[in-house]
Amino acid sequence: MIKHALLILAALLVSRSSPSVECDPDDGGISLPTGFCAIVFADEVGVTRHLAVARNGDVYVNLEATDRPNPSNTQLRGPRARGALLVLRDTTGGDGRADVEVRLPHTGGTGVALGEQYAYVSLETAVLRYAVGAGRIGPVGSPDTIVQGFPREGHRSRSLALDDSSGLFVSVGSYSNSCRRTRGEPRGDDPCAELPIRAGIWRYAVDRVGQRHPQDGVQWATGVRNATGLVWNRELKGLYAATHGRDNLHVLWPALFTVAQNAEKPSEEFMRVERGQDYGWPYCYHDPETNRKVLAPEYGGDGQTRGRCEGKAMPLIGFPAHWGPNALVFYTGTQFPARYRGGAFIAFHGSWNRMPLPEAGYLVTFVPFQNGKPAGAFEVFADGFAAGRLEPITAAHRPTGLAVGPDGSLFISDDQRGRIWKVVWRGRP
């Protein structure tokens, strides 16, 4: 107990201190609100997806292997194209830059979460658990397989979150856009055969190896198309998610939806995920114009009809369509000004299908919270990642991971060129 209390006290003291690092003159190529600046903590380390920061400041990163050609990704050759759990450490007196790394190869994945003794890492079909040794960088020994049997292909991200009572949440995205087995078939499958194993969030035991999906887990929520942002909020005692909405309303149903509606609908949803809730996919989607869940056209909807969508769980905020929310974190530090404390940061990977409107996303937003709920509109916190090239292939960077360090800094990862930024506060509180 005494040792645990000392660790907490040390973490609090660190979080209240103002870092002495020197920021990059150009903030690593991104723009931030007045008073903030950024350091490139690491660069070109691989296809960086989600990340987590340990109490000692080590940064754990899940690297995704790539089997897709992408000429803008110069790092996608050799070892940096391979999947791995990457652990980074700054050993040079806290200059804000990683100078030591440990790379543990795996088949490639997305999610990472840190417990007291273990690091949890998701692959496409499994979740691994690595023992973390005290006083050393990176895990010790070979990993255990905590859960296996997740389906292949479709939305392959497996985001992770740990709760306060030995629970591990895993997001399993849908295979399809709107639950249609046949590409040319205008109607969706009813009932949707994916829902018992996909398009939802499951809870598994963190201390039990060899579990299988889905039979050994609890289906915490269903109708969640692809929750790539997932986090347990210890203060609010709840699970939160940011999920990708469906695509191609006009492409598939030109008589019902205009090209502008195709670009602007449906919402990307930021939600509190309650146990047993149904968030509607594939039968329903959130319409940002009316702030309602409406019936999908594959199930008889016309853009207005609610039908079976009455009573489906609503999001806290509906973000603009196709921005691609990929990571979510609540600000738990004290380095940033008070208005940021308890609020949520969401990283948007960027769109590819908002034509004829300009593509969008490629940024990090902030959602202020008060009394456990969003307090006002979201705001752009970090921008400029794409360097003006708002297109997946040519964008300079695409935000994909977020984490808060023990000193209260915000870490942002990019899977386009493998960069990780450390954002710090330099202004007056």
Q: Could you tell me the mean pLDDT of each successive run of 10 residues in the chain, 429 residues long?
A: 36 43 94 98 96 96 75 52 93 90 94 96 97 85 96 95 96 94 75 97 97 98 98 98 95 93 96 98 97 97 96 97 97 97 97 87 97 95 96 94 97 96 86
Helical (H) or strand (E) element with 261: helix 259-264
Helical (H) or strand (E) element with 5: helix 2-16
Helical (H) or strand (E) element with 278: strand 277-278
pLDDT at residue 186, as a whole number: 78
pLDDT at residue 183, as a whole number: 60
Contact 387, 36 (CB under 8 A): no
Contact 109, 49 (CB under 8 A): yes
Question: What are 170's strand-pairing partners?
Answer: 160, 202
Helices (H), 94-219: none
Q: Is 2 exposed, middle or buried (0-12, 13-18, 19+ CB in 10 A)?
A: exposed
Choose among 150, 148, 164: nearest CA to 200.
150
pLDDT at residue 317, as a whole number: 97
Sorted by sequence, the CB contacts under 8 Å of residue 59 that are 6+ apart come out as 41, 42, 51, 52, 53, 87, 88, 89, 98, 403, 405, 411, 420
Q: Is 336 helix (H, G, I), strand (E, B) or coil?
A: coil
pLDDT at residue 136, as a whole number: 82
Q: How far apart are CA 392 and CA 355, in angstroms?
A: 13
Cis preceding linkage at 297, omega within 30: no
Amino acid at 157: S
Q: What are phi and psi of 402, to 5 degrees?
A: -140, 145
pLDDT at residue 7, as a whole number: 37
Chosen CATH of 2-425 out of 2.120.10.30, 3.50.40.10, 3.40.50.300, 3.40.50.10490 = 2.120.10.30
Sorted by sequence, the CB contacts under 8 Å of residue 108 that are 6+ apart come out as 47, 63, 64, 65, 66, 82, 83, 123, 124
Q: Vertex 67, ends 199 and 329: CA angle to 5°?
A: 45
Q: What are phi and psi of 122, to 5 degrees?
A: -100, 140
Choose among 45, 73, 77, 40: nearest CA to 61.
45
pLDDT at residue 94, as a whole number: 76
What is the b/e burial string over 344-354, where b = at least 16 CB atoms within 10 angstroms of the residue's CB?
Answer: bbbbbbbbeeb
pLDDT at residue 185, as a whole number: 60
Q: How far apart are CA 279 and CA 222, in angstroms?
A: 6
Contact 159, 229 (CB under 8 A): yes
